[in-house]
Structure 1
Amino acid sequence: MEILMAILASILFATAIYNLLQKQFLRIIIGTVLLSHAAHLFLLTMGKLKRGNPPVLVEGVTNYTDPLPQALILTSIVISFGVTSFLLVLAYRTYTLNKSDNMDELRGSSDE
């Protein structure tokens, strides 16, 4: 199962990098979203996808799951949501002011 998750995360990383290298601002935002999802899957895969009881100390239970990957993923989800919402507001503001989302047109002239 870990190999399947690693392959899926690598596909997401590849499509994210492809979208990050595009000229449209919205595709760049999609690339950052895919990159964050790939990082979530990668963190989950590093936790070894173990099954077991919840990490609550009870007598007689020896097989616990590790809560650290879930905590890291939850923190990463909150951070990526903040970054995504900021980028979407930035894209909306940029489009309303400049009527374009092409990065070459937003760069401005080099005559100055």
Structure 2
Amino acid sequence: MTAVVLAAVVGALFALGTFLLLRRDLIRVVWGLAIISQAANVYLLAMGGITEGTAETVPVLEGHGHDIHVPVGIADPLVQALVLTAIVIGFGMTAFALVLSYRVYEEHDTLDVSELGDRE
């Protein structure tokens, strides 16, 4: 059941991001890129494994370096670390793109992408 909900959420986020990406307003294009980025993060988290329970119930590392294995009930922490990094970078890039959009508006008095392409 959880996989179906996550697949629907990822699909809806990608659809919404694509819809916004195809708009004429530059701000909506930026938000479309941000939503697609977050949809990719949700997808990576879903593929990393979602488990119930806590990590304290099962030891992650057993032995002293020669017999190490990860139990089946534990989600992969590497995926979570990579997604956390992607969220921070995505936030910074979205803020930068919004500042650039403001600068475009100051220079051209419009945020319409089709009008910006027609100017020389």
TM-score interval w.r.t. the shorter chain? 0.7 to 0.9
Distance in 1 separating the partners of 2:86 and 2:102:
24
CA deviations 1:74-100 (Å, max 9, x no partner) are: 121122112101110110101111110
Give the match for residue 81 of structure 2. Answer: 71
Distance in 2 separating the partners of 1:64 and 1:24:
44
1:99 partnered with 2:109: yes
Give the match for residue 53 of structure 1. Answer: 55
Give TM-score scaled by structure 2 length.
0.79
- The 5 A counterparts of 1:73-92 are 73-92=83-102
Give the match for residue 12 of structure 1. Answer: 13
Contact preservation (8 Å) 1:20, 1:31: yes
| Identity value in percent | 39
Of residues 61-70 and 13-22 in structure 1, the stretch that sits farther from structure 2 once superposed is 61-70
- Tell me, what secondary structure is at the counterpart of 1:49? coil
Distance in 1 separating the partners of 2:60 and 2:49:
19
Question: Aligned residues, how many?
Answer: 109
Distance in 2 separating the partners of 1:8 and 1:84:
21
Distance in 2 separating the partners of 1:109 and 1:29:
21
Contact preservation (8 Å) 1:26, 1:91: yes
What stretches of structure 1 of length at least 5 have no aligned partner? Answer: none
Aligned-residue CA RMSD (Å): 2.2
Ranges of 4+ aligned residues in structure 1 off by more than 6 Å? none
CA deviations 1:3-36 (Å, max 9, x no partner) are: 2011101110011011101111011011011111
Distance in 2 separating the partners of 1:78 and 1:11:
22
- Tell me, what secondary structure is at the counterpart of 1:107? helix
What stretches of structure 2 of length at least 5 have no aligned partner? Answer: 64-69
- Tell me, what secondary structure is at the counterpart of 1:64? coil
